[in-house]
């Protein structure tokens, strides 16, 4: 079985990078979202209930309970956590020794703490996915590091490596649950766009924050859009079953299909760190041989093989070809693929009914759980086999302890994950072991396992709904308030903001899908704009000069609902076209009875607003100074600047690593002499060399080097 040390290291670096983006992006928005003058002040979420300290921490697991001990309020504590999380995430990216379980445990705890007070702005599926992935990184990260990525571990590290292969399997299981559930819910939702294969004719212009490439993708031929939906179903429903294939090439094929899907989504949509995190999860499908840079590792020498190995190889090839043929035939049959050679198009349609799909889903959901259990059992047996190969009772004892702890943790997390996974098929949910439900209910608030299902229904089939805020000084002349990222001005091209997530812009997209009463936070946004609160204004326009009411807050605020469509190719200078639909929020001013009634109804009227004061505590002053220094930077630029700094440091590290060995030729000559002596002693012990032991002897020499 191929090793996974290199994919594990790639996974750990990727998780650190995503945490870096998540913390840095959140930090830039804390004053406007959660500050004392923000839309949803965080202090409202942490009110002592008179419970014990540890009970309070267990029921609401957040480190922000300790903020008052540091002289900070809740929002300042959240800023401190975000800054520490950003700095801590830089460690594993720059230093191999910092890819340690304790580092990832702190990152997970810090982000979980933020989510406890994040309210609606941190209720996205990718936030839950990051928490689950971050906890898996705690189990995957090694307690001790090898001195070199290509060095073969010796002694106790052999057992540790065997244990990490086991925990790394959970990453593959998480990727399977994410993709399979995301594909299934598109059909179980009965959305006519998905069943009609027309979802992508709407998706590019109706997604939250499209990129400029989405405009071009939107104008592709309809038959290609429908064929792309077929490919999406294939990649998200059928291909994930290959994640557990015993044939290595099938797993690699599944890896590249997942990468292709995520890259295309990144090109056409601003989904912050979600697609990057999904790409990180796909590393669980790789192995050391595929990632190795040295030809000797990626292309081992051909050795004489026995007849049963040759037969096994041919059977594997036949099984691989049969799998590809089955996928191709099933896709053509169930989606009615027909090639029109005259018009040079491929026609497609779904040939099965909702009832047939429901019956199929009921039939396969439970077997996929057994497939996961069988794959996990194989990983457990493989770990036990590797443990049996360890020599020395002390090393075996040390490894047995690790294997027992990590093995029990892996099995427990697998059982917990079955509960949210079973939500895709309600009938299967009731068949699960009662203990699994109880275990999941005990730790559900820690978000160790979550249910997923992205793009369940396609919205905006009759046009993209968009809320446009307007302000006025006299109630007669209204000026539009344009956001930095979401569509507004029809002549402005869609921006590229990935990996930053402007959380207010995202919630404005959700608010437009229904009445304003379904989004209580919107009333608080209107109040803050009427009050002229700068932290909230910076969420809308980072440059105060671009905000039309930067000198004096508007007297009145209202909101209109429009429908937006991408412009046609012939329209010059316009990216969008729009049509007014209705009034979304009535005109209100400070003290307006309607506004006061809504604030009271939604519990947004703070009975004891904090008194504005300058920070007096040293730590609070330091946080205030850092905020002032970073405030001129736009969030996407800040994130890309951090990534560029990491890249520059890694380049310098690589140059130093390549230069330092060349700077000490005497030491290198001495090493060559020692290696030559070892090779001569090894050759003297081999009385009658054969082609097999000659090649194995050369590999042993290379490992010693």
pLDDT tens digit sequence for 172-208: 999 999 999 999 999 999 999 999 999 999 999 999 9
Asked if 467 and 557 touch (Cβ cutoff 8 Å), the reply is no
Q: Between 46 and 328, name the one with better pLDDT.
A: 328
Whether the pLDDT of residue 152 is over 80: the answer is no
Nearest to 201 by CA among 190, 212, 214: 214
For the ranges 26-30, 146-150, 431-435, the maximum mean pLDDT occurs at: 26-30
For position 292, what pLDDT does the model report? 79
User: What integer is the mean pLDDT of 472-501?
Assistant: 94
Q: Using CA atoms, how far apart are residues 310 and 2, in angstroms rounded to an integer?
A: 18
d(CA 257, CA 331): 15
Q: Is the pLDDT of residue 45 over 70?
A: yes
Q: In what order do the strands lie in the sheet with 576-588?
A: 479-481, 464-472, 556-566, 576-588
CA distance 445 to 391: 42
> Given this model, what pLDDT does residue 670 score?
47
Identify the pLDDT of residue 56.
87
Q: Within 13 Å, how many C-alpha atoms sit on residue 430's CB side?
A: 3
- CA dist 4 to 372, 413, 459, Å? 19, 20, 41
Residue 499: is the preceding peptide bond cis (ω within 30°)? yes
Residue 613 binned pLDDT confidence (cut-offs 50, 70, 90) = low
pLDDT above 50: residue 257: yes
Average pLDDT over residues 563-574: 91
Q: Is pLDDT larger for residue 564 or for residue 165?
A: 564
Q: How far is CA 169 from CA 18, 253, 401, in A?
A: 20, 18, 19
What are the backbone angles phi and psi of residue 582, rounded to the nearest 5°? -165, 170
Confidence of residue 395 (pLDDT cuts 50, 70, 90): confident
677 or 128, higher pLDDT: 128
pLDDT at 444: 92
Give mean pLDDT, residues 291-305.
54
Q: What is the pLDDT of residue 304?
A: 59
Reported as a pLDDT band with limits 50, 70 and 90, residue 695 is: very low
Q: Does the structure show a pLDDT above 60 at 329? A: yes
pLDDT at 332 over 60: yes
Q: Kindly state the average pLDDT of the residues 93-117.
A: 95
N-term to C-term CA, the chain: 24
Cα–Cα distance for residue pair 136/145, rounded to 1 Å: 18
- pLDDT for the residue numbered 682: 47
- Secondary element (H or E) of residue 469: strand 464-472
pLDDT at 107: 97
Average confidence (pLDDT) over 383-394: 86
* 611 or 536, greater pLDDT: 536
Q: What stretch of H or E contains 135?
A: helix 125-140
- In this predicted structure, the answer to whether residue 299 has a pLDDT above a threshold of 60 is no
Residue 412 — φ and ψ, nearest 5°? -65, -45
CB atoms < 10 A from the CB of 9, how many? 22
Whole-number Å distance between alpha carbons of 461 and 431? 37
The domain ranges of the chain are: 1-151+291-301, 464-609
Residues 6+ apart with CB under 8 A from 221: 345
CB 368 within 8 A of CB 241: yes
Report how many helices (DSSP H) and strands (DSSP E) the chain contains, helices first: 28, 6
Side-chain half-sphere exposure of 14, counting CA atoms within 13 A: 23
* Residue 644, pLDDT score: 93
Instruction: Please answer whether residues 578 and 557 qualify as being in contact, where contact means their C-beta atoms are separated by less than 8 angstroms.
Output: no
Q: DSSP for 426-443, please give it.
A: HHHHTTS-HHHHHHHHHH
Look at 163 and 518; give whichever has higher pLDDT: 518
- Indicate if the pLDDT at residue 460 is higher than 50: yes
Identify the pLDDT of residue 396: 85
Q: Residue 297 above 60 pLDDT?
A: no
Residue 156: per-residue pLDDT: 46
Q: Rounded distance, CA 86 to CA 272, Å?
A: 16
Q: What does the pLDDT read at residue 298?
A: 44
Q: How confident is the model at residue 495 (pLDDT cuts 50, 70, 90)?
A: very high
Kindly tell me if the per-residue pLDDT of 690 is higher than 70. Answer: no
The answer to whether 199 and 454 are in contact (CB under 8 A) is no
- Asked which of 230-244, 297-311, 677-691 is least confident by mean pLDDT, the reply is 677-691
Residue 16 scores a pLDDT above 80: yes
CA distance 146 to 162: 14
User: Mean pLDDT, to the nearest integer, of 380-404?
Assistant: 87
Cα separation, 660 vs 640, in Å, equals 30
> Looking at residue 272, what is its pLDDT?
93
Return the minimum-mean-pLDDT range out of 142-151, 301-310, 453-462, 665-674: 665-674
**Within 10 A of 270 (CB to CB), how many other CB atoms are there?**
26
pLDDT range class, residue 431, cuts 50, 70, 90: confident
Q: How much of the chain, in percent, has pLDDT values that exceed 70?
A: 88
Radius of gyration over every alpha carbon of the chain, rounded to an integer in angstroms: 29
The listed range with the strongest mean pLDDT (5-9, 26-30, 150-154, 442-446) is 26-30
Q: Which residue is it, tokens 């292709």?
A: 260
Tell whether the model's pLDDT for residue 571 goes beyond 70. Answer: yes
User: Mean pLDDT of all residues in the chain?
Assistant: 87
CA 445 and chain centroid, separation: 19
Q: What does residue 123 show for φ and ψ, rounded to 5 degrees?
A: -100, 30
Q: Has residue 247 got a pLDDT over 80?
A: yes
Q: What percent of the chain has pLDDT over 90?
A: 71
Q: What is the pLDDT of residues 58-67, one digit of tens each?
A: 889 999 999 9
Long-range contacts of 255-260 (CB under 8 A, 24+ apart): 255/282, 255/285, 255/286, 258/175, 258/179, 258/282, 258/285, 260/235
Phi-psi region of 553 (alpha: psi -120 to 50; beta: other; left: phi over 0): beta
By the 8 A CB rule, do 489 and 482 touch? Answer: yes
Look at residue 308 and tell me whether its pLDDT is greater than 60: yes
Average pLDDT over residues 268-295: 88
Q: Which of 222, 229, 238, 232 is nearest to 192 (CA)?
A: 229
């Amino acid at each position: 079985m191929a090793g996974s040390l290199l994919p594990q290291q790639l996974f750990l670096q990727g998780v650190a990078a995503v945490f870096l983006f998540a913390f840095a992006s959140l930090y830039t928005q804390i004053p406007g979202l959660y500050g004392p003058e923000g839309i949803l002040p965080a202090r409202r979420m942490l009110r002592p209930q008179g419970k014990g300290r540890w009970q309070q921490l267990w029921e609401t697991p957040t480190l922000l309970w300790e903020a008052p001990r540091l002289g900070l309020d809740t929002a300042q504590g959240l800023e401190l956590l975000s800054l520490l999380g950003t700095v801590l995430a830089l460690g594993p990216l720059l230093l191999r020794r910092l890819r340690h379980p304790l580092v990832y445990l702190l990152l997970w705890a810090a982000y979980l703490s933020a989510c406890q007070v994040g309210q609606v702005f941190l209720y996205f599926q990718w936030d839950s996915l990051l928490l689950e992935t971050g906890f898996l990184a705690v189990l995957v990260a090694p307690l001790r590091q090898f001195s070199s990525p290509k060095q073969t571990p010796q002694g106790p590290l052999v057992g540790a490596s065997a244990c990490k292969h086991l925990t790394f399997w959970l990453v593959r299981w998480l990727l399977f649950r994410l993709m399979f559930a995301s594909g299934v819910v598109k059909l179980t939702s009965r959305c006519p766009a998905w069943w009609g294969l027309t979802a992508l004719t709407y998706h590019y212009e109706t997604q939250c924050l499209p990129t400029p490439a989405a405009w071009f993708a939107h104008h592709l031929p309809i038959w290609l859009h429908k064929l792309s939906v077929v490919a999406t179903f294939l990649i998200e429903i059928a291909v994930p079953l290959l994640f557990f294939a015993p044939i290595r090439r099938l797993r690699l094929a599944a890896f590249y299909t997942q990468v292709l899907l995520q890259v295309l989504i990144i090109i056409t949509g601003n989904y912050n760190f979600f697609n990057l995190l999904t790409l990180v999860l796909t590393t669980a499908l790789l192995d050391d041989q595929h990632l190795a840079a040295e030809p000797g590792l990626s292309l081992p020498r051909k050795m004489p093989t026995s007849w049963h190995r040759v037969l096994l190889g041919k059977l594997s090839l036949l099984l691989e070809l049969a799998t590809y043929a089955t996928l191709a035939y099933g896709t053509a049959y169930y989606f009615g693929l027909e090639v029109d050679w005259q018009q040079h198009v491929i026609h497609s349609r779904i040939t099965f009914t909702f009832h047939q799909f429901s019956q199929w889903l009921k039939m396969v959901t439970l077997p996929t759980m057994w497939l996961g259990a069988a794959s996990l059992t194989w990983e457990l047996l493989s770990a036990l086999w590797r443990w049996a190969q360890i020599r020395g009772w002390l090393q075996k004892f040390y490894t047995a302890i690790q294997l027992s702890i990590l093995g029990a943790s892996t099995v427990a997390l697998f059982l917990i994950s079955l509960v949210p996974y079973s939500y895709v098929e309600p009938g299967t949910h009731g068949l699960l072991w009662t203990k699994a439900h109880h275990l999941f209910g005990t730790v559900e608030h820690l978000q160790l396992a979550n249910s997923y299902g992205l793009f369940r229904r396609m919205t905006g089939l009759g046009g993209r709904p968009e809320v446009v805020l307007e302000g006025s000084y006299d109630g007669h002349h209204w000026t539009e308030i344009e956001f930095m990222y979401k569509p507004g001005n029809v002549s402005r091209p869609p921006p590229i903001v990935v990996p930053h997530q402007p959380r207010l812009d995202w919630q404005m997209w959700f608010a437009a899908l229904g009445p304003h009463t379904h989004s209580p936070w919107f009333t608080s946004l209107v109040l803050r704009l009427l009050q002229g609160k700068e932290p909230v204004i910076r969420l809308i326009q980072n440059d105060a000069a671009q905000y039309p009411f930067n000198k004096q807050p508007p007297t009145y605020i209202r909101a209109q609902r429009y429908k937006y469509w991408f412009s046609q190719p012939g329209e010059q200078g316009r990216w969008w076209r729009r049509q007014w639909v209705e009034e979304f929020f009535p005109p209100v001013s400070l003290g307006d009875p309607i506004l006061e009634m809504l604030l009271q109804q939604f519990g947004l009227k703070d009975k004891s607003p904090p008194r504005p004061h300058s920070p007096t505590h040293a730590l609070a002053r330091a946080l205030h100074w850092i905020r002032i220094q970073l405030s001129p930077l736009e969030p996407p630029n800040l994130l890309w600047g951090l990534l560029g700094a990491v890249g520059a440091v890694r380049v310098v590290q690589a140059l130093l690593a390549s230069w330092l060995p060349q700077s000490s030729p005497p030491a290198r000559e001495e090493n060559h002499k020692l290696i030559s002596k070892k090779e001569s002693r090894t050759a003297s012990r081999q009385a009658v060399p054969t082609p097999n032991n000659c090649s194995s002897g050369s590999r042993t020499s290379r490992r010693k080097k």
